[in-house]
Amino acid sequence: MSSKAAVTTDSAEDLWAGGKAPMKASYGKLMMWFFLVSDAFTFAGLLTAYGLIRSSYPSYPAETLIPDIFVPSENYWPVPEEVFTAVPFLHGVKLPLVFVALMSFILILSSVTMVLAVEAGHRRNKKDVEKWLLWTIVGGLTFLGCQAWEWSHFIHGTETGMVVKRLVDGQWIEQLIHGANLSYNEYGPQAFGQLFFFITGFHGFHVFSGIVLLVIIFYNVTVGIYEKRGHYEMVEKVGLYWHFVDLVWVFVFTLFYLI
Amino acid sequence: MAYQEFDFNVNSPEAKPANRQKVIQLLRIAMVVALITVVEFIFAYTVPKGMMLYSIFGLLTMLKAGFIIWEFMHLGYEHKVLKWAVIFPTVVFLAWLAVALVGSEGPTLLEETGRTDGVNVVEQSE
């Protein structure tokens, strides 16, 4: 390759050095997409595992699902309306799915602010990028905080708990259990708690790493790295990841809290 | 990324105001996604559980996912090859897993393990 060619294609990292960007996308953006596809496979595997185990358990008969006389059992897959009923500061008030719906809105909202940050990056408006990135970070942290509360409530459980039969020293005894961990939970079969911890935990970890990425690019924007580089494409790439996290939550929401 | 001319007015908001049309369109899409969530929420309360309700939830979820991928992640405006490179494997993989595991394997397990009548298997064998 002559030095002349290298000089004429100086912009944008030689457009992948061949003078043409494959699929009309930059290298970084394309790799982010491929990473997201592989990550989507991981989540697809986890969520179908949930679907498989869920469909291998019977549902509660309709006549047992009357709110006040409902008794949880290990033999049926739990109904979300009876498991996720708590809202912070409203102890003892049963508000099915209200808190998770709020969490969904927070995540959707943070996706919106992320889109606005990307849009501000397109017109190279540093101040706007900073502003919207900060709001996105706030949204992400709020979501994580909500999830921490949700987990803590799930682990501690309700005051009523559930009565289970256990074989201890050759004798069937009845035990009252509260809350959930990896070996039992008061909401239903063991697998329910395990799947809940694993899948929402894996998603929460994605939110966490998203926040770390956002903080890094927020720093870079503030010190003017992308200004010097001439474009804010990094904001776009991290934006892709952030929307993906929102996308996964849409599926987690449906599977865990609706079906 | 195409080469961009240096802009002296980068930091002055008057120089490059927000693209109003684009912002309004994005906000509209966000509203639709939020509204679908509200509809799901209402359905969860009012429609009795069953295959019918689950299918509605499935469709609404796909719709939401579509909006997020197409508009927020901007995939709808990418090059054709990139679009299909992302969508095709994911959809095929997901559809296969859903049909094979959730549609067929799960219900078979339900029968084979004898959980169908809601009686604890361990207890029953005792």
How many residues are there in chain B? Answer: 126
pLDDT tens-digit readout, A196-225? 999 999 999 999 999 999 999 999 999 999
Same domain for B58 and B27?
A: yes
Same domain for B114 and B63?
A: no
Q: Angle at CA B73, nearest 5°, toward B71 and B75? A: 75
Would residue B65 count as lying in a domain?
yes
The CB-based long-range contact list for A20-23 (8 Å cut-off, 24+ gap) reads A23/B78, A23/B79, A23/B81, A23/B82, A23/B85
Query: Residue B32 sits in which domain range?
Result: 17-77
Q: Which residues of chain B neighbour A240 with C-beta distances below 8 Å?
A: 73
pLDDT tens-digit readout, A37-76? 999 999 999 999 999 999 999 888 888 888 778 888 888 9
Tally of domains within chain B: 2
Same domain for B67 and B31?
A: yes
Q: Which residues of chain A neighbour B86 with C-beta distances below 8 Å?
A: 33, 36-37
Q: Do B3 and A23 touch (CB under 8 A)?
A: no
Same domain for B32 and B71?
A: yes
Same domain for B45 and B73?
A: yes
Same domain for B85 and B103?
A: yes
**Residue in this structure with the two tokens 């000089």, named with its chain if needed:** A7
Q: Which of B53, B101, B109 to mutate to test the interface with A (most CBs of A within 10 A)?
A: B101
Residue in A with minimal Cα distance to B116: A58
Distance from CA of B54 to the nearest CA of A (A): 6
Same domain for B24 and B65?
A: yes
Chain B touched by A175 (CB under 8 Å): no
Same domain for B69 and B101?
A: no
Chain B touched by A246 (CB under 8 Å): yes
| Res B126 pLDDT > 60 | no
Q: Do B79 and A80 touch (CB under 8 A)?
A: no
Would residue B59 count as lying in a domain?
yes
Model confidence at A9, pLDDT cuts 50, 70, 90, reads very low
In angstroms, the CA A101 to CA B38 distance is 8
Among A130, A96, A103, A132, CA closest to A115 = A132
Contact A26, A12 (CB under 8 A): yes
In the prediction, which pLDDT does A3 show? 44
Would residue B2 count as lying in a domain?
no
The fold of A28-60+74-258 is: Four Helix Bundle (Hemerythrin (Met), subunit A) (1.20.120)
